Chain A
């Protein structure tokens, strides 16, 4: 046998067929197209602005707004600027979104777990809730709560009164407003510091337990920090508390704090609607944990509550958190449906009234888009951080 060296000749194809070249060309074309479209949009806009002689810029922010807003978390009057109106709208959007996210999560988890319950009635009730809520349009639900439920409440003169302190009517819910003395700031600061200290303490205790296996009772100290210290300050500094009661005067109530029906309708609709989706996500997450895990934990002698808390939920969260994030983002964006019932959110106050009075459509819509984008990215970022913390760590 003679040794014949096998010559492996590489097939030389034309450079056009090289994958690297091809993908580079395609990407270049795509970028070129994007630039072209961008340039076209910019040029058309510029030209239209010039031919219509519309002034552009952000000076309008500092003009007196001249309108009023029904719900303001910070003081606002007609003589304040559009910049402050923007802030009021933004805070209203954040306020209803934050509460909505919280409520939707609570309801969603309860319903999701309830649907897996061995109790037939609870399981069916939760199933019915999900199927009804999830399959009706959100706008319809908002209008239902606003026009069919809250508008049907009595007029202010015939308010439903609870203990003569809380009044419910078709203008909203009125509750007494606590008015604290001057030094309330010190008390609040102490409470916040107490919460922070308790959290640090809890972390230290956990580390200690992981290292040595010995548990530590932290709650008496935490209680001291969070409750006793501020309470002591409250009485020592003689802060005192007065109550501003709502009183019917003429057409409406004066005094107290009022929750407007637009806010209530939006909050109820947003949280119950999103909760329907969260419930299914939670159910999916729990079902995704293999049955063997529960059985193994029970075999180790863990109680049922401990099985859930220590074994099932941590594993379910890995499945739950990513889709939960998109539900939160949906809720925040859906809050812009507020315009249909007159809740003064960012879109209504800024992209609505302000846009109409100033005519600065491009600037205002641009800012509004950026604000929603920014809020969504922040939520996304926070949830991704959380997700990374609870994700399966492979060692």
Chain B
């Protein structure tokens, strides 16, 4: 008798837990940390070192969120996910957001049930080949074997490109980025294709990186963006505006170095950004000094770019399209007011 009562009440508890379906922000606060789905090991975007410390632009974005919510960038747990598993993990509430070099596409935005919170990195798909193959254009790649990762836009762009140029090819599709680059290095494939930023990172894993070259053709648009589930607008707003805050901070020259000095600024837009005027942070469900927290703990967009993928990193990728809009790039954040 007693046992069945216990079981029954257990079942009821589960049922009510499912029914509660609380707001993501409340869940996060109750849990004391943000669950952030990241890439399993992609230099510049998300990679753990031998002590388990994560670095990368995607990682720093989640740290910025933790800084905004908790005033503590360490209150975030990183879950490495394969390209194939990432969407299921987000749909099934295993993570609060994906910050996992994921391309923003219409079907992912609609049919998969996600919202994309703005572009962290404007990327494009390219091809890596051996210099010894003496190829100078992607149009010479007919009858090649191409290694790529399963469940990515890359796999589909590849098919589109070869199909539209009437070129034959064989795609060998792997689950993780590591398996792809290993197969390419072993000679299973003539070509390795993925987003160019990722090619830069993966090339470092090859035994002789200088024996390989990236072909000039860029065959797709790959706006890499963090994403959240449909159905929680407040959390979507927080993620979106954290990115905008980092971009605005760079635009108004608020960096880790200049923060203390800029806090004394008389410029109204800087005052609004840093929460000295207005209650824009509270409108989001955060505190008014949210941007101060983000910049103090993590930095502005330019800083995290430089530190992880730009000149200050091993990858040394040119900022290119990712420059601010007023410097000739595409990065443009709506104003905080």
A residues adjacent to B (C-beta < 8 A): 29, 33, 36-37, 40, 43-44, 47-48, 51-55, 66-70, 78, 147, 151-152, 155, 170-171, 249-252, 254, 260-262, 339-342, 344, 348, 352-353, 355-359, 361
Interface size class of B (residues with CB under 8 A): 35 or more
Supply 27 A–B pairs (Cβ within 8 Å), ascending by A: A47-B19, A51-B231, A52-B113, A52-B230, A53-B231, A54-B91, A54-B230, A66-B160, A67-B155, A67-B159, A67-B173, A68-B170, A147-B186, A151-B186, A152-B186, A170-B186, A170-B188, A171-B145, A250-B144, A254-B143, A342-B147, A342-B175, A352-B150, A353-B151, A355-B151, A359-B111, A359-B113
Report the bound CA distance from A341 to B150 in whole Å: 11
Q: How far is the CB of B91 from chain A (nearest CB, A)?
A: 6
Give CA–CA (A48, B108) in the complex, Å: 17
- Contact in complex: B172, A352 (CB < 8 Å): no
- Assess whether B88 is interfacial by the CB under 8 Å rule: yes
Which of B10-18, B205-213, B241-249 contacts its partner?
B10-18
Contact (Cβ within 8 A) B111 A358: yes
Query: What is the minimal beta-carbon distance from A148 to any residue of chain B, in angstroms?
Result: 10
**Nearest chain B CB to A63 CB, angstrom units:** 10
> B271 near A: Cβ within 8 Å?
no
With A70-B173, A352-B151 as contacts: A155 and B187 at CB distance below 8 Å: yes
Contacts of A250 in B (CB 8 A): 142-144
Q: Is the CB of A170 within 8 A of B187?
A: yes
Query: A353 contacts B142, CB within 8 Å?
Result: no
CA distance A31 to B21 in the complex (A): 28
Q: Chain B CB within 10 Å — which of A67, A339, A356 has the most?
A: A356
A47 to B21, CA, bound (A): 9
**Which residues in A have their C-beta under 8 angstroms from that of B151?**
352-353, 355-357
- Find out whether the CB atom of A54 lies under 8 angstroms from the CB atom of B111: yes
Q: Which of B147-181 contact A (CB under 8 A)?
A: 147, 150-152, 155-156, 159-160, 163, 169-175, 179
Asked if B75 is at the interface of the complex by the 8 Å CB criterion, the answer is no
Contacts of B171 in A (CB 8 A): 67-70
Number of A-B contacts (CB under 8 A): 144
What is the distance, in angstroms, from B41's C-beta to the closest C-beta of chain A?
Answer: 16
Report whether over half of chain B's contact residues are helix, strand or loop; otherwise say mixed.
Answer: mixed
Chain B proximity of A79: nearest CB distance (Å): 8
Within 8 A of A (CB), among B63-106: 83-84, 87-88, 91-93
Supposing A43-B15, A47-B21, A262-B172 touch, asked if A352 and B84 sit within 8 A by C-beta, the answer is yes
Docked-complex contact A67 and B156, CB < 8 angstroms: yes
Evaluate contact between A342 and B172: CB separation under 8 angstroms.
yes
Verify if B182 is at the interface (C-beta below 8 Å from A): yes
Q: Verify if B133 is at the interface (C-beta below 8 Å from A).
A: yes
Q: How far is the CA of A355 from the CA of B87 in the complex (A)?
A: 9
Contact flag A251-B111 (CB < 8 Å), given A47-B21, A66-B156, A353-B173: no
Determine whether the beta carbon of A52 is less than 8 Å from that of B143: no
Distance in Å: Cβ of B152 to nearest Cβ of chain A: 8
Q: Which residue of A lies closest to B231 (CB)?
A: A51
What is the bound-complex CA distance between A261 and B112, given in angstroms? 34
Q: Which residues of A contact B307 (CB under 8 A)?
A: none
**Considering the chains assembled together, what is the distance between the CA atoms of A147 and B21 in angstroms?**
46
Which residue of the partner chain A has the closest CB to B155?
Answer: A67
Task: Given the known inter-chain contacts A67-B156, A151-B187, please indicate yes or no for A361 contacting B150, CB distance below 8 A.
Answer: no
For the complex with contacts A51-B231, A353-B84, 17 further pairs of A-B residues with Cβ separation under 8 Å are A37-B11, A40-B14, A43-B18, A43-B19, A51-B21, A52-B113, A54-B91, A69-B171, A70-B171, A70-B173, A78-B159, A353-B173, A355-B151, A357-B107, A357-B156, A358-B107, A359-B113
How far, in Å, is A236 (CB) from chain B's closest CB? 39
Kindly list chain A residues whose C-beta atoms are within 8 Å of the C-beta of B175. 339-340, 342, 348, 352
Asked if B183 CB lies within 8 Å of chain A CBs, one says yes
Complex contacts, A356 vs chain B, CB 8 Å: 83-84, 87, 150-152
A353 with B150: CB separation less than 8 A: yes
| Closest residue of A by beta carbon distance from B175 | A339
User: 6 closest A-B pairs (Cβ-Cβ)?
Assistant: A356-B151, A359-B112, A151-B186, A51-B231, A52-B113, A44-B18
Bound: A171/B186 CA distance, A: 10
Q: Once the chains are docked, how many angstroms separate the CA of A383 from the CA of B163? A: 46
